[in-house]
Structure 1
Amino acid sequence: QDNIEKATFMKVYLISQGRLSLMNLSAVIDPVAGYHHQENILWMLLHSFYHSRIVSHENTGVLKRMDWLLDLMGYIRNLAYKSTPLENVDLQECIDFLLWVFAASVVAWADHGAPLLIGLSADWSPWKHQTLLLELSEDHIGKHPADKFAVQETLTLFPRSISLLLAKDPWKEQTQKFIDWLISMMESPQEALSKFSTDLLKGRIFLTGSL
C-alpha cells in the first residue's frame, strides 16, 4: 500500500508541475482504479488538479486540461458501454472511482473559491519533502480528517462547479459535449452504474438547464 501511494504521489506531483504531460495521468489512474484506499489517491489527484491549474506551464494550460478531461469522459463512457475491456476490476467500482476523479477535476478547475473552501493549499512542500526522503507514512497522506473532508466535498460542490466551468472560455464551447456525455452515461447499461454513480450523474442532469 505504502509503495503504491508513494509512486502515485511522485507522479501526480510531477504532472502538476508540468514536468510530465497531463496525459500521464491516465497511466496513474488506471492501475489504482481497483485500489482499496481510493480516497487517499483521490486526495492526491485533487491536489494535482488544483496545482496544474495554478502552475504556469505549457503542459498544464487550459487547453491541455480540457483535452485531458474530454478524453477521460470518453474513456468512462467506453467502459460503461463495454467497448473498452476491463480486467480484474469490478466495473461499477471502476466507474465510481473515475466519476469521482472527474468530479474532483471539475471542482479544482472551475474557480478558485471551491478549492479554498475545501482547504486545498498552494504549497506542496511538506508532502514533497517527505516523499523525496521516502518518509511518507501511510498514516499521513490523504488520511487526515481535513483531507477526507476535501475529497467528500467534491461530490457536494460538483454540480455548481461544472456550471461555473462551462460558463467560461474555452470550456463553454464544449457544453453540448458535456450534456451529451451526461445523458449517454445515464442511458448506459444498468450493470455499469452503481447507486453512487447514478446519484452523482442525476444531480448534474437535473441542472443541465442552467448550463
Structure 2
Amino acid sequence: MSHIDYYFTVLSPWAYLAGSRLEGIADRHGATVTYKPLDVEQLFARTGGTLPKDRHPSRMDYRMQELKRWSRALDMQMNYTPAHWPTNGAPASYAIITAQSVGGGDLGGLVHGIMRACWAEEKDIADDAVIKACLSDAGYDRALADSGLLAGAEAYGRNLEDAVSAGVFGSPFYVVDDGAKFWGQDRLDALDRHLGAKT
C-alpha cells in the first residue's frame, strides 16, 4: 500500500483547484494520505520561492490567466481576487491538524471546505466562526477549533521542516513513500499513473 504526504497551504488557489481528486486517486489505488498544511511564506523563504505580492507583473498576469483556464476546465466556481486573501492561514491549518489526529470526520472534505470558503464563498478562513462551520460540515465537532492549539502549532512547524527535508517547494505538493514527487494540481494525473504502475 502506498502512502502520500500532501503538503499544502490553505491559502493556495492551486490547492483549491485540486478539489477532491487526490482523495479519489488514493481510494482507487488503496493509498493512504497524511495532510500536512504549512506556512508557505516560510517555505518560499527557505526554498527560493517568491510570494505573489513580490512577483513581476508578467508572472502575475500569466498566473491569472492560468487560474481562469483551470477553473473553467475543472468547472469550479472561483473568485480570482477573494476579499479575504491573503489572510492568516494558521488557525484553519491547526483545525485540520487537530481533526486529522482525532479522526471521525471527512478530512478531505474539511480541507476542501476551508479552501472553498476562501476561493469561492468570500469568507475569511482566519475567522473562528468560518472554521467551526467547516468542521461541522465535514462531520467534526466545532469545538475542535478551540482545542489542540499548541499541538497544532507544533505540528504546523514540523510540517514545514518535513517539507524542506523532503524537497518540497510549493503548494500543492505530493510526496509518495517511494520518493516520487509531484508539484501542482496539474500533476495529479501523473500521480495517478505512478500509483497505478506500482499496483
TM-score computed with the length of structure 1 as normaliser: 0.28
Higher relative contact order (Cα pairs below 8 Å, separated by 6+ residues): 2
Q: 1 or 2, which has the higher helix percentage?
A: 1
TM-score computed with the length of structure 2 as normaliser: 0.29
Q: 1 or 2, which has the higher strand percentage?
A: 2
